[in-house]
Structure 1
Amino acid sequence: MSNILRTLAEKAQPRHTALVIVDMQNDFCAQGGYLQRTRAESGRHPIRVDENAAIADRIGALADGARRSGAAVAWLRSVYDFKYLAEAHVAMRDAEGCCMEGTWGADFFRIQPREGDIVVDKHTFSGFHETGLHAQLQERGIRTLVMAGVATNVCVDSTLRHGFFLGYHIVVAEDCVGSGNAAGHEGTLSTVRVNFGEVTTSVELLRLFGKHAPADALSAL
């Protein structure tokens, strides 16, 4: 039991850490994307997307720092054509149209994967359910997941819980996650602090990653 990772610094060692970027896609994040558009059209309280650009920029900076330090970077991308969804998922949707395969809505928002990153398509809220994510992380010796993306209380939450059940240490970068549901966002962060792992900032994670980055990479900053 002596090798259990207990502190944030131990958990965030780049050699066994993956930054997992969840659903940073136009239909979830962009003005005119599915969530913002359909909420406005239905007359329901619209989803606010104005904070998503800043979230994306912070995730991009964190991903750059992770790569420089040797940590893995994994991207989850939702593809929600009804042909891929379970009946229970279809029943919760008003109509087909969110993150349709090959569309602008399914494209990444503002930030993009780089060569060497992991990219995994998923057809439900958890990035581990019937995907190759776990196998790819295990091949790289990953023990810790640093979670970023949207929505905090839906796909980020579902993926981090699934990851915890698979044995991964969980760290949430609180300034790199977002949701249109403020109560749900805060609820997930509170639950992680108590039950699943660590909640910290991208600034702190960049500081920890920076301790392990090669000197030539640091001089380029």
Structure 2
Amino acid sequence: MPADTLLRTLEAQLRPAHTALLVVDMQNDFCDADGFLARARAASGRHTIEAEENARIAQRIERLAAAAREGGATVAWLRSLYDFRYLAPAHIVQRKEQEGLCLEGSWGADWFRIRPEPADLVITKHTFSGFHDTELHAQLQARGIRTLVLCGVATNVCVDSTLRHGFFLGYHVVLAQDCVGSGNRAGHEGTLATVRVNFGAVVDSPELIRLLGVHPAAA
């Protein structure tokens, strides 16, 4: 790539005309106290999900998405459908052959607290990465996207997998620190640390909102 096309600063990377906000798996089964994950963890005696914190994350994502749209950035929502007819055999084994998480057409697969606007992209995925066997990369390329801002859940699973896959495809990646969450605190903190060192920036949403307003696409 010619040197004059490199995006060396965060401000340059976050020009809305070539930036996409990816909202990952903000669905009831992952986020709600009555969702599949919360019930499964309670039944096994494990620490359950932080539904109240997920609600706060949803509010922050809503503000960030509104700012992204206002600046002219792309907003894309990734949703998981984990019916076993869609999953790879290894994923079924990893799920311990217990079907029920994010089933197509179910309340659990529906959005948690926030939902896409009509002009937003919606991408359905059947594994952790939003790029694997989906049209996400083609859709982003068609829009001239060079930078991804990631938010949603879980930090150390689907957010992390999508972020790394995007980086491998050549995108700049930015993690919205206060707009991601996980029931695994060590995994959450580990992902934040790894992204900072090896992949891209980790930035709170107020600063992202400010940067997205510096060079609006309409300007």
Band the TM-score falls in, shorter-chain normalisation: over 0.9
Partners of 1:121 and 1:139 in 2: CA distance: 18
Q: Does the residue aligned with 1:5 lie in a helix, a strand or coil? A: coil
Q: Could you list the per-position Cα deviations for residues 26-78 of structure 1 after superposition, in whole angstroms to 9, with x for gaps in the alignment?
A: 00001110111111012222222220000000000000000000000000000
| Residue 192 of structure 1: aligned partner | 195
Partners of 1:81 and 1:111 in 2: CA distance: 23
| Residue 84 of structure 1: aligned partner | 86
Partners of 2:209 and 2:133 in 1: CA distance: 31
Output the amino acid matched with 2:108: G
Partners of 2:143 and 2:122 in 1: CA distance: 14
| Residue 165 of structure 1: aligned partner | 168
| Residue 111 of structure 1: aligned partner | 114
Q: Could you list the per-position Cα deviations for residues 88-132 of structure 1 after superposition, in whole angstroms to 9, with x for gaps in the alignment?
A: 100011310000000000001011100111100000000000000
Partners of 1:135 and 1:121 in 2: CA distance: 14
Output the amino acid matched with 1:142: I
Partners of 1:207 and 1:85 in 2: CA distance: 40
Partners of 1:3 and 1:154 in 2: CA distance: 32
Q: Which of 134, 139, 150 is 2:137 aligned to?
A: 134
Partners of 2:5 and 2:215 in 1: CA distance: 20
Output the amino acid matched with 2:46: R
Farther-moved stretch of structure 1 (43-52 vs 108-117): 43-52
Over aligned residue pairs, what C-alpha RMSD do you find?
Answer: 1.2
Partners of 1:192 and 1:18 in 2: CA distance: 18
TM-score using structure 2 length = 0.96
Output the amino acid matched with 2:75: V
| Residue 21 of structure 1: aligned partner | 23
| Residue 125 of structure 1: aligned partner | 128
| Residue 64 of structure 2: aligned partner | 62
Farther-moved stretch of structure 1 (35-44 vs 11-20): 35-44
Output the amino acid matched with 1:180: G
Q: Percent identity?
A: 67
Listed as ranges, the gaps of 5+ residues in structure 1 are 216-221
| Residue 35 of structure 1: aligned partner | 37
Check whether the contact 2:72–2:217 (CA below 8 A) recurs between aligned residues.
no
Listed as ranges, the gaps of 5+ residues in structure 2 are none
Partners of 2:4 and 2:193 in 1: CA distance: 28
Instruction: Report the alpha carbon displacement of residue 214 of structure 1 after superposing the two structures with TM.
Output: 8.4
Instruction: Report the alpha carbon displacement of residue 142 of structure 1 after superposing the two structures with TM.
Output: 0.1
Check whether the contact 2:73–2:217 (CA below 8 A) recurs between aligned residues.
no
Instruction: Report the alpha carbon displacement of residue 158 of structure 1 after superposing the two structures with TM.
Output: 0.2
Partners of 1:66 and 1:45 in 2: CA distance: 34
Output the amino acid matched with 1:85: L
Check whether the contact 2:55–2:113 (CA below 8 A) recurs between aligned residues.
yes
Aligned residues: 215
| Residue 53 of structure 2: aligned partner | 51
Instruction: Report the alpha carbon displacement of residue 203 of structure 1 after superposing the two structures with TM.
Output: 0.2
Partners of 1:111 and 1:47 in 2: CA distance: 18
